Structure 1
């Protein structure tokens, strides 16, 4: 944090850049020191005697984004898509292909960015739904929305009190239960004959899928690793799985 003398001595564009950096942290809820970020912004705003419309008080997410864009412009910075871009050139109002009856259950994923990426993959590869449980972030989370690029608005989603409740509902409706998980008993992704309907289970970034959930699965699928690491990022792994399903699915 700057002292008052040093901050006021900065060029206006540099001041604006710092305000934009602080707003980016607030919008995306980055880190654990959000209160400190708000305090720093407010201190600088007081030194510059900002009008009310540039203060944080009462600002909703949309208003914070507009203020962020204003500071980016003042700083001479370009388009910053991670914060406020939802509709991109080439986006369509309707899907190109019909969706396939494959949902994904995202249980106890910490990273909102990973969950948002999963939403985007579900849309791009034409799967049907995202199911959330445990401490997986909700679709209102700013980082999730940033990664999802608006897909959370139209991809079907539901939050369940228990992952087992979701799994049992899917099974009762004729869905196979597929775990994306490495280890004994897992079938390499290239050898799978995909069922007509399925619910895909994804596990925690560090711990994987809990044993009681694995016991509910009719099939375990893995992506063979060619390098030294034994596993990959969950959102990336899901994208590979979703592509394999879409490519191999027979209508």
Structure 2
């Protein structure tokens, strides 16, 4: 049995839906450089147009990000921006879904996600600030029936991104 993923996907291409389908993966003030690298790699996996990191004054080691992102570091469009840049350049122009455990959040598996979406996850320890959540129309949560009610930010974005892919009718 051949388990080479490059060869597998070369012989079993993924059907990409036509039309206005786009995803941007974004994360709010991520403190762990490895999580940034994982999100860059995830964005590359799902065909995201961008991976965006809304940061304050955090200092990240690019070598650690690059090590985790692998070759996606140079292949995927990704960038850091300030809160002000996010509010002026993204919030007014994108259909944003906040991935957050908050009042008004709906189950991601039963909520119809927009075909053009910016998926926003919160920081590892503080989530998305309330003043930002107040400006976002879509709030979704991943149901967690087990004993642990939290998930690593890169894992949560993975679940959400692949649920979006499922809903937009990608197929193998």
1:224 aligns with 2:143: yes
Residue of structure 1 aligned with 2:90, choices 157, 170, 194: 170
1:90 aligns with 2:10: no
Alignment of 1:1-251 (within 5 A): 90=6, 100-134=21-55, 135=57, 141-162=62-83, 164-173=84-93, 175-249=94-168
Gaps of 5+ in 1: 1-87
8 Å Cα contact 2:51/2:78 also seen in 1: yes
Q: Distance in 1 between matches of 2:76 and 2:59?
A: 16
The root-mean-square deviation of aligned C-alpha atoms, in Å, is: 2.7
TM-score (norm 2): 0.80
User: Relative contact order (alpha carbons < 8 A, sep ≥ 6): 1 or 2 greater?
Assistant: 2
| Structure with higher strand content | 2
- Aligned pairs, how many? 160
| Structure with higher helix content | 1
**CA drift at 1:170:** 2.4
Q: Distance in 2 between matches of 1:137 and 1:241?
A: 27
Report the structure number with the largest CA radius of gyration: 1
Q: Distance in 1 between matches of 2:27 and 2:99?
A: 11
